[in-house]
């Protein structure tokens, strides 16, 4: 299982880095659109859509993304869109986690399906706009989520005592959350130093926030992004628990589904673009 997991991760990294390094933004946009469409299929399966309808949801996410590309939204999506998506994540996340996994299947199916399509489409649009902003900016956003996850894992294993959401994800602890936040703050300091001393294509998210809002604003913004990454992770865990599923699918050998790998990114990407619109 470990060998399979490593092999899958290596293939994904090589393919994604190749698309990211291309002179044109199209390879990265199309590759990630395929991945986010797969998430749409997985979301449908987890929310009682049935095989044909779940496949249709994946196609719908892909068509919505392609339409945004043709409309040029990947480079000029309006700031109110990002702030609206962030507000939706905060409200929906609070309500869903307050009600718990048992209440999720009782919500109207159509509402759950549309919510999934919207959150996936907006996350992909934010991803492509972050790529258009600059590779350094995009990587700084992705690394934030990865650092929060890795630091939370090791911090939770070392210090975890108080459960964060035992009915949703028993393995997560408050100590893990705080460790993730500390890890992200340390990462931001390192990244800002790199931006200052090395040539980069564009300033990172951390540098932009620091220049616009100072140290206090940077810290508050990063803590908020870390909290949103936890919300994204918990929401997917809640949906899987409600569906009685361990993974969102088996598309990625050794890793489960695509949604399992990107859940924490879904609210963070639109939030990063909202902060960029504020800090520009």
**pLDDT tens profile 68-124:** 888 876 667 889 999 999 999 999 999 998 899 999 999 999 999 999 999 999 999
CB 192 within 8 A of CB 209: no
DSSP character at residue 167? T
Q: How many CB atoms lie within 10 A of CB 160?
A: 19
Length, in residues, of the chain? 280
At residue 257 the predicted structure's pLDDT band, cuts being 50, 70 and 90, is: very high
CB 255 within 8 A of CB 261: yes
Nearest alpha carbon to residue 8 among 237, 246, 251: 251
Nearest alpha carbon to residue 81 among 138, 25, 123, 32: 123
Q: What is the pLDDT of residue 25?
A: 83
Give per-residue pLDDT as tens, 152-195: 999 999 998 999 999 999 999 999 999 999 999 999 999 999 99
At residue 145 the predicted structure's pLDDT band, cuts being 50, 70 and 90, is: very high
At residue 2 the predicted structure's pLDDT band, cuts being 50, 70 and 90, is: low
For the full predicted model, state whether its pTM sits above 0.75: yes
For residue 55, pLDDT beyond 90: yes
46 token code pair: 């987890």
Give per-residue pLDDT as tens, 195-243: 999 988 999 999 999 999 999 999 999 999 999 999 999 999 999 999 9
């Amino acid at each position: 299982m470990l060998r399979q997991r490593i092999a899958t991760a290596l293939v994904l990294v090589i393919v994604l880095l190749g698309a990211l390094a291309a002179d044109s933004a199209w390879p990265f946009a199309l590759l990630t659109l395929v991945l986010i469409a797969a998430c749409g299929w997985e979301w449908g399966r987890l929310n009682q859509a049935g095989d044909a309808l779940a496949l249709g949801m994946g196609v719908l996410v892909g068509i919505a993304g392609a339409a945004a590309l043709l409309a040029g939204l990947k480079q000029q999506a309006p700031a109110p869109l990002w702030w609206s998506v962030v507000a939706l994540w905060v409200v929906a996340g609070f309500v869903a986690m307050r009600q718990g996994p048992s209440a999720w299947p009782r919500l109207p199916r159509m509402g759950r399906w549309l919510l999934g399509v919207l959150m996936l489409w907006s996350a992909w649009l934010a991803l492509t706009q972050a790529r258009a902003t600059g590779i350094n900016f995009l990587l700084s956003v992705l690394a934030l989520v990865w650092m929060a996850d890795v630091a939370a894992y090791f911090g939770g294993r070392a210090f975890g005592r108080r459960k964060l959401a035992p009915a949703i994800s028993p393995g997560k602890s408050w100590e893990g959350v705080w460790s993730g936040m500390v890890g992200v703050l340390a990462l931001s300091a390192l990244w800002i130093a790199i931006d200052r001393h090395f040539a980069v294509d564009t300033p990172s998210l951390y540098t932009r926030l620091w220049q616009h809002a100072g140290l206090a604003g940077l810290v508050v913004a990063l803590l908020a992004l870390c909290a949103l990454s936890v919300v994204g992770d918990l929401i997917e865990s809640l949906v899987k628990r409600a569906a009685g599923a361990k993974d969102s699918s088996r598309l990625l050998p050794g890793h489960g589904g695509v949604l399992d790998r990107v859940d924490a990114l879904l609210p963070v990407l639109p939030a990063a673009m909202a902060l960029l619109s504020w800090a520009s």
